[in-house]
Amino acid sequence: MVGRRRIDAVKQRGFTIIELVITLVIAGIVIAMATPIMRSSIAEHRALAMVAALKTDFEWARNNALSTNQGVNVSIASNTVCEWSISAIHQMTTANLANYNGVACVFSGLPPVFNGMGFSTAGAFTATISATGTSRAWLLTLLGSGDLTVKAQ
């Protein structure tokens, strides 16, 4: 009888195949529910990174104009493509855009020009940056004073 108890004790260790399958099914359901939320969250973070990059580059252009007392032009590729160029370092090119998949931009107004006093002389300029597949968007407005405001929409 003692030998039989040892065999039963050994058989009861571990998980059955049914328990493992149920655990995997539950994990799969949880992952399937979380995937859309993660996708939209990633798109929003990429859009925020684009907002930060544009804001940083515009601030650099303004500060460069102030420090050199010379005008600095910002080149915009088109009104619907997230590409701009200020210098070889401060730019967003097609190669950079691979890091911002799921981000859409709409620019309106003339490309900014900062004069030697840091003012924007090209008039009103706005950029709307949004995360595709979500309702989140950010509006960047360049004021005539050279200041840049960012508002979540």
How do residues 72-112 score in pLDDT, each as one tens digit?
A: 999 998 888 889 999 878 889 888 888 888 899 999 999 99
For residue 81, the tally of other CB atoms under 10 A from its CB is: 15
Structural contact between residues 113 and 100, judged by C-beta atoms closer than 8 angstroms = no
3-31: average pLDDT: 80
Q: Which of 26, 67, 50 is nearest to 140 (CA)?
A: 50
Structural contact between residues 146 and 114, judged by C-beta atoms closer than 8 angstroms = yes
Q: Considering the entire predicted model, what is its pTM?
A: 0.77
How do residues 105-126 score in pLDDT, each as one tens digit?
A: 999 999 999 999 999 998 889 9
Is it the case that residue 3 has pLDDT exceeding 60? no
Domains (range + CATH), the chain? 43-152 (3.55.40.10)
Give the type of residue at 36. Answer: P
Find tokens 């050994």 and name the residue.
10
Exposure of 59 by Cβ count < 10 A (0-12 exposed, 13-18 middle, 19+ buried)? middle
